[in-house]
């Protein structure tokens, strides 16, 4: 391989700046979010009153499960409950 | 006919490639086994890459880039089980990101009644190739001592000034410049020592 000079290396380092922290954190928390969603949906399937409570306030239901109610997660929960 | 040393160098390069790919493969296997820490590491490893493809390669606006970014990792999480070759996780992620970026551009074109055959801002191959090289440089950077890793990343990738870095590290700003130069020498040695091919393959599962 031919030699890379400092400028080339600097440019290549600069081509990959960090993604915004919040994006990375949201992606990293995906497994916990999915587990929280699965638990909510399972309980909602088994308990109609609980399902009504969840539907009445999706954000609060997620927070109660320890899941940050990001819009994407709220939408996913709404979709899963609608599929029931 | 190859020079006598070529075999050794090629073998060495293959060994490094295998070792590196095995690291990716091991990470994928741990993720598949439900290891949350491995998942966080996988996101950490590929987050800049996905972000750069969306923002620098396809020039998506931040909102679209964020949607693509989250969708990429959601699909990776859901479909890791169907990945045929664990060592190919990087080209798979690259392909997935490119595809979702193109979908996003097509959706934007539909909304604006633009001609669907004329997608705007699809990056030239050389831009994507440069991002591959950049990824390899960052992998080499990760092998350097912490002080070099930090100083090069903060100056070149995070755009921090000599003064900011110097204040944080308790060093005069002038010293930062000479450290950067020395660290770039180390990075060049590490990068050229890796001798990794940088072209992602295609045809992975989606």
- For chain B, the structural domain boundaries read 4-194
Interface contact B184-A6, CB threshold 8 A: yes
B174-199 pLDDT per residue, tens: 899 999 999 999 999 999 887 545 44
The answer to whether position A51 is within a domain reads yes
A8-56 pLDDT per residue, tens: 999 999 999 999 999 999 999 999 999 988 998 999 999 998 899 999 9
The answer to whether position A46 is within a domain reads yes
Find tokens 């002038």 and name the residue: B174
What is the rounded CA–CA span in Å between residue A12 and residue B134? 5
What is the rounded CA–CA span in Å between residue B26 and residue B6? 30
What is the rounded CA–CA span in Å between residue B107 and residue B116? 9
Q: CA dist A80 to A31, A64, B34, B173, Å? A: 16, 18, 22, 54
- The HSE-up count of residue B128 (CA atoms within 13 Å, CB side) is 17
Q: Decide if A67 contacts A33 (C-beta within 8 A).
A: yes
> pTM of the full predicted structure?
0.80
Q: Is B200 helix (H, G, I), strand (E, B) or coil?
A: coil
Q: What is the CATH number of domain B4-194?
A: 1.10.1740.10
Mutation for testing the B interface, residue in A2, A6, A16 having most B CBs under 10 Å: A16
Q: Which of B129, B163, B159 is nearest to B52 (CA)?
A: B129
pLDDT at A4 exceeding the cut of 90: no
Nearest C-alpha in A relative to B49: A16
**Phi–psi pair at B170, nearest 5 degrees:** 70, 35
Find tokens 């070099």 and name the residue: B148
More confidently predicted of A70 and B92: B92
The answer to whether position A39 is within a domain reads yes
Residue A8 sits at the chain B interface (C-beta within 8 Å): no
Number of domains in chain A: 1
The closest CB to that of A27, out of B56, B70, B141, belongs to B70
The answer to whether position A1 is within a domain reads no
Q: Decide if A13 contacts A7 (C-beta within 8 A).
A: no
Q: CA dist A23 to B71, B96, B152, B155, Å? A: 11, 17, 23, 22
Cβ contacts of A32 on chain B, cutoff 8 Å? 36
Residue B133 sits at the chain A interface (C-beta within 8 Å): yes
> CB count, 10 Å around CB of A52?
10
The answer to whether position A14 is within a domain reads no
The answer to whether position A12 is within a domain reads no
Would you write out chain B's pLDDT as a tens digit for each of its 206 residues? 333 333 443 344 444 444 555 589 999 999 999 999 999 999 999 999 999 999 999 999 999 999 999 999 999 999 998 998 999 999 999 999 999 999 999 887 776 665 555 555 677 778 889 999 999 999 999 999 999 999 999 999 999 999 999 999 899 988 999 999 999 999 999 998 875 454 444 434 44
User: Does the structure's ipTM exceed the value 0.90?
Assistant: no
- The HSE-up count of residue B25 (CA atoms within 13 Å, CB side) is 11
**Structural domain for A68, as ranges:** 20-83
Nearest C-alpha in A relative to B193: A1
What is the rounded CA–CA span in Å between residue B42 and residue B36? 10
């Amino acid at each position: 391989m031919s030699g890379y000079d400092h400028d080339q290396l600097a440019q290549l380092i600069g081509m990959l700046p960090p993604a915004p922290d919040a994006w990375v954190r949201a992606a990293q928390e995906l497994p916990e979010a999915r587990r929280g969603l699965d638990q909510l949906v399972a309980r909602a399937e088994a308990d109609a009153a609980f399902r009504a409570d969840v539907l009445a306030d999706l954000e609060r239901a997620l927070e109660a499960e320890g899941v940050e109610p990001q819009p994407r997660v709220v939408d996913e929960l709404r979709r899963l409950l609608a599929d029931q | 006919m190859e020079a006598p040393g070529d075999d050794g160098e090629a073998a060495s390069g293959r060994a490094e490639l295998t070792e590196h790919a095995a690291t990716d493969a091991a990470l994928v296997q741990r993720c598949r086994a439900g290891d949350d820490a491995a998942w966080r590491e996988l996101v950490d490893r590929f987050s800049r890459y996905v972000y750069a493809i969306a923002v620098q390669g396809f020039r998506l606006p931040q909102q679209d880039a964020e949607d693509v970014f989250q969708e990429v990792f959601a699909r990776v999480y859901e479909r890791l089980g169907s990945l045929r070759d664990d060592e190919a996780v990087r080209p798979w992620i690259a392909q997935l990101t490119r595809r979702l970026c193109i979908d996003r551009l097509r959706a934007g074109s539909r909304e604006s009644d633009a001609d669907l055959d004329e997608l705007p801002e699809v990056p030239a191959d050389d831009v994507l190739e440069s991002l591959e090289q950049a990824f390899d440089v960052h992998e080499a950077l990760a092998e350097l001592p912490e002080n070099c890793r930090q100083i090069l990343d903060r100056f070149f990738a995070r755009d921090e000034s000599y003064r900011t870095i110097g204040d944080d590290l308790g060093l005069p700003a002038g010293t930062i410049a000479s450290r950067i130069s020395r660290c770039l020498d180390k990075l060049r040695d590490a990068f050229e020592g890796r001798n990794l091919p940088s072209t992602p393959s295609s045809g992975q599962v989606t």
